[in-house]
Amino acid sequence: MFFRSKAPLRIGLAGGGTDVSPYCDRYGGAILNASINIFANVTLEPLETGEVILQSIDRQQREVLKAALQLETDSGLVLLKGVYNRIVRDFARKPLSCRVTTHVEAPLGSGLGTSSTLVVAIIGAFAEWLQLPLGEYDIAHLAYQVEREDLGMAGGRQDQYAATFGGFNFMEFYAHDKVIVNPLRIKQDYIHELEYNLLLYYTETSRLSHSIIETQQANIQQSQTKAIDATHKVKEQAFLMKEAILRGNLREIGKILDFGWQHKKAMAKNISTAHIDEIYQAAINAGADGGKISGAGGGGFMTFFCHGITRYQVIDALKMAGGRFQGFQFTSEGLVTWHC
């Protein structure tokens, strides 16, 4: 028997970083993101060997362990082990012999929420196997607990909810882990136009987001006025983006992206680099209205909004920058699980 799941990665369109504590606990955060047809895939096979076999196809890693109440998470495929430990502790309450195989269709550290999306997909596969009564909010919150609490990984909260719910969502984040997901009803014509106007560009560099996020958190904890004011502006960007998309004022999106990007760079050091700045300026010079880095920054994917037919000029301009463009479509579906 195979128990399978897939969860979509996401493009963050506005508000990135305002979902990170302690900012969202003190001031409330707001994010607008949309899921895309690039997925984290998981297959779970129950075993009777007393082993736990963990394997990541894209990372070319494999571990064979003895089924236990808790697996060590100090090295190796820690996300898989973290989910296993939480499922055993909270639900199974006994060792589970199984093989878990994962494949993520984008590089880890690319800024599209790969780690959190993978955690959601792994939880989904276990939930399908064990028939766990978990709703969308339950799965997203459990994924957040595994990453941020159990494994101690720095980061925000949007990715777990984007992967679980799917579609275009305006998300609000508050103290005590309170999250409100507001699905947006957007006209299909607007979605098609967004797909045409948005370019997803991979810089061919990955980054360790936790160091950037830890700096961002420290700036808020130390009440650094510049960083707090910048984060307020990035939150404002989420509200501007929501209104523009819902009303179909798509011509404004490039300006809103640029507004957010200029302020995001002031939230913490290393969000941008000299190479990223060069790519961004080359895209603007070629006709892009605005853009941003995906995720915490420092590398990974960049998103550019190109009105009219300027996308072709931007594509030509960035051919020599050492990266590549990634095709995508928006998807309305979040986490999906099944068995066969």
**Which fold does the domain 188-325 belong to in CATH?**
Alpha-Beta Plaits (3.30.70)
For residue 305, pLDDT over 70 is answered with: yes
> With pLDDT > 90 as the criterion, what percentage of the chain qualifies?
85
In this predicted model, what pLDDT tens digit does every residue of 156-210 receive, in sequence order? 999 999 999 999 999 999 999 999 999 999 999 999 999 999 999 998 876 556 7
Q: Note if 90 is an active site residue.
A: no
Q: Which CATH architecture has domain 3-185+331-339?
A: 2-Layer Sandwich (3.30)
pLDDT confidence of residue 2: 97
pTM, to two decimals = 0.95
Among 19, 159, 258, 289, the one annotated catalytic: 159
Query: Between 98 and 320, whose confidence is greater?
Result: 98
Over residues 39-63, the mean pLDDT reads 97
Same topology between domain 3-185+331-339 and domain 188-325: no
Over residues 152-156, the mean pLDDT reads 91
> With pLDDT > 70 as the criterion, what percentage of the chain qualifies?
98
Helix H, strand E, coil C: the string for the chain is: CCEEEEEEEEEEEECCCCCCCCHHHHHCEEEEEEEEEEEEEEEEEECCCCEEEEEECCCCEEEEEECCCCCCCCCCCHHHHHHHHHHHHHHHCCCCCEEEEEEECCCCCCCCCHHHHHHHHHHHHHHHHHCCCCCHHHHHHHHHHHHHHHCCCCCCCHHHHHHHHCCEEEEEECCCCCEEEEECCCCHHHHHHHHHHEEEEECCCCCCHHHHHHHHHHHHHCCCHHHHHHHHHHHHHHHHHHHHHHHCCHHHHHHHHHHHHHHHCCCCCCCCCHHHHHHHHHHHHHCCCEEEECCCCCCCEEEEECCCCCHHHHHHHCCCCCCEECCCCECCCCCEEEEC
Confidence of residue 296 (pLDDT cuts 50, 70, 90): low
pLDDT confidence of residue 235: 97
In this predicted model, what pLDDT tens digit does every residue of 67-101 receive, in sequence order? 999 999 999 999 999 999 999 999 999 999 999 99
Confidence of residue 268 (pLDDT cuts 50, 70, 90): confident
Over residues 57-74, the mean pLDDT reads 97
Tokens in use for 196? 């045409």
For residue 38, pLDDT over 70 is answered with: yes
Q: Where are the domains of the chain?
A: 3-185+331-339, 188-325
* Average pLDDT of every residue of the chain: 94
Ranges 90-104, 114-128, 168-182, 209-223: which has the least confidence: 209-223
